[in-house]
Amino acid sequence: MRLLAAAFSVVIASAAIAAGVPDHFVWPIPAWMPPPPVPDDNPMTAAKVELGRHLFYDARLSADNTIACASCHAQKLAFTDGRELAVGINGTVAFRNAPSLANVGYFPLVTWANPHVGSLEFQALIPIFGDNPEEMGLNGKENEIFARLRADPFYAEAFPEAFPERPDLDLFTVTRALGAFQRTLISVNSSYDRFKYAGEKNALSDAAKRGEQLFFDHRFECYHCHTGIHFTNNLQTSRSAFAETGMHNTGLYNIGGTGDYPRQATGMIEFTGAPSDMGKFRTPSLRNVAVTAPYFHDGSARTLRDVIDHYAAGGRTIKDGPYAGIGARSPYKDGMIAGFQPTDKEIDDLVAFLESLTDEDFLSNPAYSDPWPAGHPATIERVSP
């Protein structure tokens, strides 16, 4: 499987540079995995993916040339940043933790809590233009910055190649290229996958096998929400009859009404206004979770053990620091977060299972890496968590 993954990345790379050859995109996935859905207005091509990769790693896409998408979404951390809360231009701190982008093309809803963000093309506008918080700070400066990028010899060729019908570098083509690249970020080659789908009986340790039993057990209940191929009930493949979208209150905060509360506590209610959506957040995938600490939308759990302690206690039982209310007592808490009493060994086993979801090939696949040469103006001082 390792070799197979290496071969896939070569397929992407070589297709992108095969000048004059019709641009057939090959998904970097094994046969058992259906590809993610692709929007009609953004068909996949290797040229577009390669362009999107350059944009993803280009710090010139920010107001002061310091922040690229990759600043907050670093490959070796499964496209997270290792911080509690993300940090944008001028040191602006965001309200939320940067989620992993592994398999992001399969999520019908993106972002932690907004039920209206249903596409990668739309999502990209948030970090680029958002001013609350300011992540890349392009609002009002897009013409100047797009002009700067158009002057780059790479883009002067790559945009017409990727978009023969609409060769200009504009918001439509930039967000389409970013979306196409992100749809290729597919991670399905963990030890657990090799054990479960490729019949490698020794790919999983005994501890991880015991942890798998616990994960799918009624006492722990993890699998009710972290279900299916990507361990989330937020899933759509190109073969799905419908999109599954799971949002839950997992007992992190306990606040109600419309009073003053920290913004990180609100969840889906911020977008729907419905009281029952208070504290509801999207179920994240657990693939590569061992490298995406700290956890939860507010980055409040440092380790996987902390996460399991949270569930075992039936939600947050402390009310210190920025936390509003005792989360475990929230009336909106999902019934599945009832608490349980694990032994130390059970926690170790569950952690071993979660660690078996790490896909080393994904974290080092050259097809997802920074394409810009060292010292190029696109490059950034990478965040080193």
Query: 180 or 304, CB closer to ligand HEC?
Result: 304
State the nearest-atom distance from the C-beta of 98 to ligand HEC, in Å.
4
Min CB(205)–ligand HEC separation in Å: 17
Q: Which DSSP helix (H) or strand (E) runs through 64?
A: none
Query: Which residues on adjacent β-strands are paired with residue 295?
Result: 301
Residue 1 or 128: which CB sits closer to ligand HEC? 128
User: Which amino acid, one-letter code, is at 375?
Assistant: G
* CB nearer to ligand HEC: pick between 183 and 194: 183
CA proximity to 174, closest of 123, 137, 130, 108: 123
In DSSP terms, 131 is beta-bridged to 134
Residues of this chain that interact with ligand HEC (CB under 6 A) are: 67, 69, 71-73, 86-88, 94, 96, 98-99, 101, 104, 107, 110-112, 120, 123-124, 127-128, 135-136, 178, 182, 220-222, 224-226, 248, 250, 252, 281, 283-284, 286, 289, 292, 295-297, 304, 307-308, 311, 334, 336-337, 350
Q: Which is nearer to ligand HEC, 197 or 340 (CB)?
A: 340
Cα separation, 111 vs 179, whole angstroms: 14
Least spacing, CB of residue 373 vs ligand HEC, in Å: 20
Q: What is d(CA 93, CA 98) in angstroms, rounded to the nearest whole number?
A: 11
What is the closest distance, in whole angstroms, from the C-beta atom of residue 83 to ligand HEC in the complex?
A: 9
Are 357 and 231 in contact by the 8 Å Cβ rule? The answer is yes
Closest to ligand HEC by CB, 1 or 74: 74
CB of 265 to ligand HEC, least distance (A): 9
Nearer to ligand HEC, 14 or 303 (CB): 303
Shortest distance, CB of residue 345 to ligand HEC, whole angstroms?
A: 15
DSSP result, 236-262: --TT-SS-B--EEE-SS----TTS---
Residue number, 15 or 308, with CB nearest to ligand HEC: 308
Q: What is the dihedral of CA 89, 94, 99, 100, to 10 degrees?
A: 20
**Beta carbon nearer to ligand HEC, 107 or 155:** 107
Q: Between residues 1 and 155, which has the closer beta carbon with respect to ligand HEC?
A: 155
SS3 label, residue 295: strand
Q: Which two tokens stand for residue 231?
A: 């361990």
Nearest distance in Å: CB 135, ligand HEC: 4
Q: What is the dihedral of CA 297, 235, 232, 263, to 10 degrees?
A: 20
C-beta of 27: minimal distance to ligand HEC in Å?
Answer: 18
Backbone angles phi, psi at 87, to 5 degrees: -125, 125
Which residues contact residue 64 at a Cβ distance below 8 angstroms, ignoring those fewer than 6 apart?
A: 89, 90, 137
Task: Determine contact, residues 44/174, Cβ cutoff 8 Å.
Answer: no
Q: What is the DSSP string of 185-240?
A: -----SHHHHHHTS--GGGS-HHHHHHHHHHTSTTT-HHHHS-TTTTSS-B--TT-
DSSP structure string for 106-171 = G-SS-SSS-TT---HHHHTHHHHH-BTTBSS--TTTHHHHHHHHHTSHHHHHHHHHH-TTS-S-SH
- Of 69 and 204, which CB lies nearer to ligand HEC in the complex structure? 69
CB of 96 to ligand HEC, least distance (A): 4
Could you tell me if 237 and 106 are in contact, meaning their C-beta atoms sit under 8 angstroms apart? yes
Write down the least CB distance from residue 247 to ligand HEC, Å. Answer: 7
